[in-house]
Structure 1
Amino acid sequence: MIELILTKDGSHTLYDSELGVWHHSVNGALQESTRIYIELGLWEKAQAGKEIRVFEMGFGTGLNVLLTFIEAQKHDYHVDYTTLEAFPLSVEKYSALNYDSLLGSDVLQRLHQLSWNQQHEVMKNFSLTKIQDDLLKYQFTQKVDLVYFDAYSPNTQPELWTEEVFRKIYEAMNEGGVLTTYCSKTVVRKALIAAGFIVEKHQGPRGKREVLKAIKI
């Protein structure tokens, strides 16, 4: 069963009671995603001043897509965004999320309603492709600049946090590409390094001491 939970910054997250996992930190879903994926990822890649190809592992609530979309509109970033999700949320669940009201937006429902496995031009500078697939089976068709790695934790889905998976992603990235993730466990850091990344530890959002940024040199 998936439950809607209000986190400490007033934004929603979801709790999967069957797996015993949260979609975001209970200390604040919005502040967590902003710190890890926007500040440490998008803002850095946007400095290059060209189109940014983003790949996200774990569409989930759609929060990372929404935040990236808002930033793209605010700063005129040109973003080609692909997101992977094996188990999309039901209409009941995503309709209850409060991200639009908190962010002064009105597009979250539309992002969820867009058809799967097809590219959509959401705005002139933002395209979105939602792929319903398993990362282990997924084949990249173009090089990417930025990866939001937001899968369930290694305790829940250890098969997604391996050297093999990270090498697959590494090979699909352009030079200078960046991967950011909330998980800073030693096993994850070692797997990223073994796959070829330079790995940095950064201060995490409230309630989390460290997060990781991995760079393809």
Structure 2
Amino acid sequence: MSPDEDDEIGDVLRRHLRILEALLFASAEPLRASDMASYLGEGVDVAGLLLTLQTQYEGRGVNLVRRGDAWAFRTAEDLGFLLRREEHETRPLSRAALETLSIIAYHQPATRAEIEEVRGVATGKGTLDLLMEAGWVRMRGRRRTPGRPVTYGTTDAFLDHFGLETLLDLPGLDELKGAGLLSGRLPPDLQIPLPFDGSLRDDEDPLDPADLGDPEPEDEET
């Protein structure tokens, strides 16, 4: 390969990296590789380019991070304190919402009945609606059981908000104990479930068109 060809390839690579950089900086939400592929042309290794760009931003004040299947620029973790400011939540999550979100995160895909079984109380539809409006929970599909209940899972926005690359980065049993979120007097054989992070599990069917409306009846939170 001639020096001129090397220079041409290098120019194309730099252009592609600049395009990805611009798209990611301009987006308010994390972007998937497929979202950016159309800006680069056919046959471009977008995943490889993203890894290259991620390496280039290592050690800087802003890092390129992965959130599930999506990518975003975020302030370096060790500099987050510089940008932190006091913020007042206009509608903080209730204990019921926090418990529901935690159960979905660790047990997904989970149906409403399964969430209630873990919590020990009924879960109002309003709680699930609140979590979906926040963009942290989504309807995944329908369980292949009588009644075909809706299954719920977390979103890339959930990963982004809590600084997780994948669901495998959720705190484990020892971390939860260390943070004081679990009692020290727990059964010795207690295990944290492994959440499913795929599109649909073998016991799930795709959502019905009617699910875009109101898939489950309204109940009061108990």
- Name the TM-score, length of structure 1 as normaliser: 0.26
In terms of fraction of residues, the more strand-rich structure is 1
In terms of fraction of residues, the more helix-rich structure is 2
- Name the TM-score, length of structure 2 as normaliser: 0.26
Question: Which has the greater radius of gyration?
Answer: 2
